[in-house]
A and B are shown apart, each in its own frame.
Chain A
């Protein structure tokens, strides 16, 4: 596995980080948008009462 250590594993490690970031960031965007909408709904209800 000598040929792997210096260049192959770091490449796959960077790929893993990019994949994980994409999943985290996409999930985060959706969750934050949901929270924003829920807050807007709560505000609208408050104003109505």
Chain B
């Protein structure tokens, strides 16, 4: 098990694995998103209270999930890099940050577009919305901090530390609808024990989750290859990889 872990720390190995995985992940994302978004938009029944506007769920909920999952990935990769001094961890964290920021923005914009017909307003300073906005600021902070240092190694360490500290926001986002009175609805998908969604609506939503995850994986691999090349450009293996 540890051999596998240490192989993951090797930049040429990660570069090669990312290249192999990218097309498969992208193909899976196209299939899952094609099915999930298609069925969600055109075949799932309209909600009895929200009408067709509920279909925003097929973008908003997976985007919100990815925004948190990506942050956790970034924080864990940063922690691995800080604790075990594995440089590839910083590359993963740097590759994940812009993806997470873009999906957080997507969750906020689509949530806002969903809020207008349901709550009568695009924005309220609700705990869930506010904590998600803080997540966007954290992503921007991590990216800015990384590029603020002349010495890239110091920038990486500072960004990893901020990423770790900001990780406290993830459970706050998740439990904000439980801990405080919130306009935002509570958990629907995570409650498999007591399903709160009809199966005809739930199945395409799960396909969208899968599609978003696969897309995240594909883009992370693509960005990671760029990050590895940038960081290892003096290495012999990079020069040989470029020639082929």
**Cross-chain contact B219 with A26 (CB below 8 angstroms):** yes
Does chain A have a CB within 8 A of B233?
yes
The interface residues of chain A lying within 8 Å CB-to-CB of B103 are 18
**Cross-chain contact A37 with B229 (CB below 8 angstroms):** yes
Given B113, B117, B219, which contacts A22 in the complex, CB threshold below 8 Å? B219
Q: How many of chain A's residues touch chain B, expressed as a range?
A: 20 to 34
Interface of chain B: mostly helix, strand, loop or mixed: helix
Given B53, B223, B234, which contacts A29 in the complex, CB threshold below 8 Å? B223
The interface residues of chain B lying within 8 Å CB-to-CB of A25 are 98, 223
- In the complex, what's the smallest C-beta–C-beta distance from B195 to chain A, in angstroms? 24
**Cross-chain contact B52 with A11 (CB below 8 angstroms):** no
Given A2, A4, A12, A30, which contacts B225 in the complex, CB threshold below 8 Å? A30
Does chain A have a CB within 8 A of B90?
no
Does chain A have a CB within 8 A of B172?
no
Given B110, B114, B226, B229, which contacts A15 in the complex, CB threshold below 8 Å? B110
Tell me the A residues contacting B by CB distance below 8 Å.
1-4, 6-8, 10-12, 14-15, 18-19, 21-23, 25-27, 29-34, 36-38, 40-41
